[in-house]
Structure 1
Amino acid sequence: MSPKMSKDTANPSQGQALDRSDERVKHDEGVVDMLRAFADRIRSGDLGMLPVAVGLIVISTVFSILNPIFLAPNNLVNLLFDCATVGIISLGIVCVLLLGEIDLSVGSMSGLASAIIGVLWVNSGWPIIGAIFAALVTGAVVGALYAVLYNRLGMPSFVATLAGLLALLGLQLYILGPTGSINLPYASPLVRFGQIMVMPDWASYLLALLPGVIMVVVGFATRKRRQAVNLSSQPLGALVIKAVVLTAALEFAAYYLNLGRGVPWMFGLLVALAVILNYALTRTKWGRSVFAVGGNREAARRSGINVRRIYLSAFMLCSTLATLGGILSAARLASSSQQAGTGDVNLNAIAAAVIGGTSLFGGRGSAYSALLGIIVIQAISNGLTLLNLSSSLRYMITGAVLAIAVIVDSLARRSRVSHGRA
């Protein structure tokens, strides 16, 4: 027997099988360890979306006790319709908040987009696609202007977008003219999309299945990559359990909404945009650069990131999403009016991002924070409306929830800093 063969076959009990066993012991943390790590993150101030999830459960419980209609399927369908318009605007707010900046003009931008749709489509006879494209281009140009004012002239985003709020509002009033309102064709696909179009039952069940499948596929791939470089990985059992729980929850939600009118396509668009933005923020070079710039601008610049380009892309994306939200708002109301984009649109868009967990200090947040945050805000609004309470109380409660969210964010940030020093 050759020395090589002798070396390969000797002590078979200590061969490859034992190596793989050792590797599993080394890489696989138990579910208990995962829960312990989650508790450690909470103690260190990394709360994630836990506060908003708890808040949403509390709000739903209170309103359902006060008025059982709150959790009726058709009422929840209407709530989701209302979430979509401001929720899409809030996705753009997340982009600028991650940089530690703000855009106060998103409400006016959405109102101007609504006016552009009415004037070009109804009054001037443009094709609806052309009118939508013109509105989106206008939004992108406005966002680019904010970025230029910030990058080239050093104008704070608070001041630039506050000036934009007034200018865009004035432009909206000007192009609408003395009538102040333009009715959109009720039978048009755009208006039907904003008011009555819902998914077929089979489509809602299929889409509810996708997140769990994607979670398992991505989790397996990530687990394999980490094990290949000898890093700890998520327990296989924990991955499967999370996917099963998520799928069961989404399938039940689809089933319950289908007891009423069904899942709105417009809310599906909001969820799709949130997924795309979350992927861009977490899986692309651009997203990592956004978090880096928001965490420490100078360090990001020294590491080779084009900081000005990041600001340009974020402001353009924010303004463009505000435009899309305005277009869908016009579809929801079947009109373009002087009141579009005014009132509490700015408040709700910014509050949704902050309530959902995006930090005002930059460098922390996610696209899903806007999704959860707008559901919280619309749940409060819807519940108070069912109780026949005044809008003044809704403003006060929303303001209080926003203040609590900022306080939680500040305390969590202080906890992370002290934990890091320790």
Structure 2
Amino acid sequence: MNQDVKQQEAPALDRGDTRVRHDEGLMGAVNGFIDRVRSGDLGMLPVFVGLIVISIVFSSLNPVFLAPNNLVNLLFDCATVGVISLGIVCVLMLGEIDLSVGSMSGFASALVGVLWVNSGWPVAGAIAVAILAGIAVGALYAFLYNRLGMPSFIASLAGLLAILGMQLYILGPTGSINLPYASPLVRFGQILIMPAWLSHLLALVPGVVLIVTGLATMNRRRDAKLSAQPLANLVIKAVVLTAALEFAVYYLNLGRGVPWMFGLFVLLAVVLNYALTRTKWGRSMFAVGGNREAARRSGINVRRIYMSAFVLCSTLAALGGVLSAARLASSSQQAGTGDVNLNAIAAAVIGGTSLFGGRGSAYSALLGIIVIQAISNGLTLLNLPSSLRYMITGGVLATAVIVDSLARRSRVSHGRA
């Protein structure tokens, strides 16, 4: 009888049956997650834990922290630096850096003010020139790196000083230009909110996309006679994600609602994430960041990848400067200075993008900037000095780098094992 049982089981094994046992359902997913954490693949776990701790601490000290309208203001503030951080993710994935993103955003802000208000240009034309300036600066960095071998640290440090000088020059002795408060650009940066029905509808999209892409992946793996995750796990993930997003939207709509500017930031993060994970360019980014020489030998145009990363970084920095001008309703000498560089780079790293290259996600900028702005917002509500904000943000950044280093060491040792 044992022989008959074995004969019945053998065809299933031979044809690569992808059905999973009942004990490989939810518990199997949990055990798989634990195994990934032990191997050093922490993903977004540290960020979520950090957000929970920050929320508990600041809400216990000041209940206003979790008030709907305060969270709406926090999302407005996240969008400006968050867009800049998306570009930082691209260069960090290659193991490089751009120290001039703050100056680039300030210069773009100044261009909008000078061309639009002082010179009478259409606002769309002024924004286009600011974006083109970002493209030109990124192309210059790529040329210095690809053709002359100048390290990105030195090139962007020189760019930081030069671009800051240009910003001060074009603003002139006044140093500040007020933008028309009633203009669509300023309204977009300060008061425009999505309709409640639209925000709830958009909150359904990620869950639907997760189901569709998950089913497609399962079918492809089954066609290739590979194991696939159970359908129940996929449904649970989609339901949990949708419930969380719908609750967040519901809670924000108890106040002013979801800002359009934050929606633009999320859209850019989604587009960049798709490009990084679903396109040949994205796969090339990971390959070059992981091992440049191996990527070159496999036929990847390494110089073109570096060009695209630097251009994308400076362009997003310029766009962040335009959004900053809209948020503040002004272009000034202070735009892009202070902690803009710190927050943009820290957001990408805190969110999980590796400083060593080869690993990162567009969503790391999204989650990382929420962490940073939550700290800043909470300390402001407590009326504490900005010195504490710098120290705490620096501590969080150092912790994120330490976690990344330990996780990288764990992945290496696990791979050897």
Shorter-chain TM-score bucket reads over 0.9
Indicate which of 200, 219, 234 corresponds to 1:239: 234
* Offset at residue 396 of structure 1 (A): 0.3
Rounded to whole Å, the distance in 1 between the matches of 2:23 and 2:38 is 23
Q: Is the 1:352–1:377 contact (alpha carbons within 8 Å) kept by the matching residues of 2? A: yes
* Counterpart for residue 385 of structure 2: 390
- Cα 1:356–1:20 change in 2 (3 A) is same
Rounded to whole Å, the distance in 1 between the matches of 2:12 and 2:269 is 44
* Counterpart for residue 251 of structure 1: 246
- Cα 1:363–1:27 change in 2 (3 A) is farther
* Counterpart for residue 27 of structure 2: 32
- Cα 1:51–1:121 change in 2 (3 A) is same
Q: Is the 1:26–1:232 contact (alpha carbons within 8 Å) kept by the matching residues of 2? A: no
1:303 paired to 2:298? yes
* Offset at residue 17 of structure 1 (A): 11
Rounded to whole Å, the distance in 2 between the matches of 1:416 and 1:277 is 26
* Offset at residue 337 of structure 1 (A): 0.2
Indicate which of 164, 170, 177 corresponds to 1:169: 164
1:321 paired to 2:353? no
Q: Is the 1:116–1:131 contact (alpha carbons within 8 Å) kept by the matching residues of 2? A: yes
- How many residue pairs were aligned? 409
Identity across aligned pairs (percent)?
Answer: 83
Rounded to whole Å, the distance in 1 between the matches of 2:267 and 2:15 is 40
Gapped regions of structure 1 (runs ≥ 5): 1-12
Q: Is the 2:43–2:352 contact (alpha carbons within 8 Å) kept by the matching residues of 1? A: yes
Q: How does 1:120-139 map to 2 (within 5 A)?
A: 120-139=115-134
Rounded to whole Å, the distance in 1 between the matches of 2:197 and 2:98 is 39
* Offset at residue 22 of structure 1 (A): 4.8
Rounded to whole Å, the distance in 2 between the matches of 1:334 and 1:51 is 35
1:48-80 Cα shifts (integer Å, max 9, x gaps) = 110011001000010000000000000000000
Rounded to whole Å, the distance in 1 between the matches of 2:28 and 2:291 is 32
Indicate which of 45, 49, 52 corresponds to 1:54: 49
Q: Is the 2:16–2:225 contact (alpha carbons within 8 Å) kept by the matching residues of 1? A: no
What TM-score do the two structures reach when normalised by structure 2?
A: 0.96
Whichever of the two has the greater Rg, that structure is 1
Indicate which of 193, 196, 202 corresponds to 2:197: 202
Q: Is the 1:27–1:231 contact (alpha carbons within 8 Å) kept by the matching residues of 2? A: no
Q: Is the 1:27–1:227 contact (alpha carbons within 8 Å) kept by the matching residues of 2? A: no
1:90 paired to 2:85? yes
Q: Is the 2:18–2:226 contact (alpha carbons within 8 Å) kept by the matching residues of 1? A: no
The amino acid across from 1:366 in the alignment is S
- Cα 1:27–1:154 change in 2 (3 A) is farther
* Offset at residue 24 of structure 1 (A): 2.3
Rounded to whole Å, the distance in 2 between the matches of 1:28 and 1:102 is 46
* Counterpart for residue 78 of structure 1: 73
Regions of 4+ moved over 2 Å: 16-31
Indicate which of 274, 282, 295 corresponds to 2:269: 274
* Counterpart for residue 227 of structure 1: 222
1:166-213 Cα shifts (integer Å, max 9, x gaps) = 000000000001110000000000000000000010011001111101
Q: Is the 1:28–1:233 contact (alpha carbons within 8 Å) kept by the matching residues of 2? A: no
What TM-score do the two structures reach when normalised by structure 1?
A: 0.94
Rounded to whole Å, the distance in 1 between the matches of 2:152 and 2:16 is 56
* Counterpart for residue 400 of structure 1: 395
Rounded to whole Å, the distance in 2 between the matches of 1:20 and 1:271 is 43
Rounded to whole Å, the distance in 2 between the matches of 1:214 and 1:161 is 38
Q: How does 1:81-120 map to 2 (within 5 A)?
A: 81-120=76-115
* Offset at residue 31 of structure 1 (A): 2.2
* Offset at residue 25 of structure 1 (A): 3.8
* Counterpart for residue 415 of structure 2: 420
- Cα 1:140–1:415 change in 2 (3 A) is same
* Offset at residue 305 of structure 1 (A): 0.2
- Structure 1 residue matching 2:19: 3-state secondary structure: helix
Rounded to whole Å, the distance in 2 between the matches of 1:190 and 1:76 is 22
Q: Is the 2:296–2:302 contact (alpha carbons within 8 Å) kept by the matching residues of 1? A: yes
Tell me which moved more, 26-35 or 54-63. 26-35
The amino acid across from 2:128 in the alignment is F
- Cα 1:388–1:49 change in 2 (3 A) is same
* Counterpart for residue 357 of structure 1: 352
- Structure 2 residue matching 1:358: 3-state secondary structure: coil
* Counterpart for residue 179 of structure 1: 174
Gapped regions of structure 2 (runs ≥ 5): 1-7
Rounded to whole Å, the distance in 1 between the matches of 2:64 and 2:155 is 44
1:26-46 Cα shifts (integer Å, max 9, x gaps) = 899422222211111101111
Q: Is the 1:27–1:232 contact (alpha carbons within 8 Å) kept by the matching residues of 2? A: no
The amino acid across from 1:376 in the alignment is V
Q: Is the 1:94–1:358 contact (alpha carbons within 8 Å) kept by the matching residues of 2? A: yes
1:311-366 Cα shifts (integer Å, max 9, x gaps) = 00000000000000000000000000000000000000000000000000000110
- Cα 1:24–1:371 change in 2 (3 A) is same
Rounded to whole Å, the distance in 2 between the matches of 1:24 and 1:260 is 47
Aligned-residue Cα RMSD (Å) equals 1.8
* Offset at residue 144 of structure 1 (A): 0.4
1:252-308 Cα shifts (integer Å, max 9, x gaps) = 100000000000000001100000000000000000000000000000000000000
1:376 paired to 2:371? yes
The amino acid across from 1:85 in the alignment is T
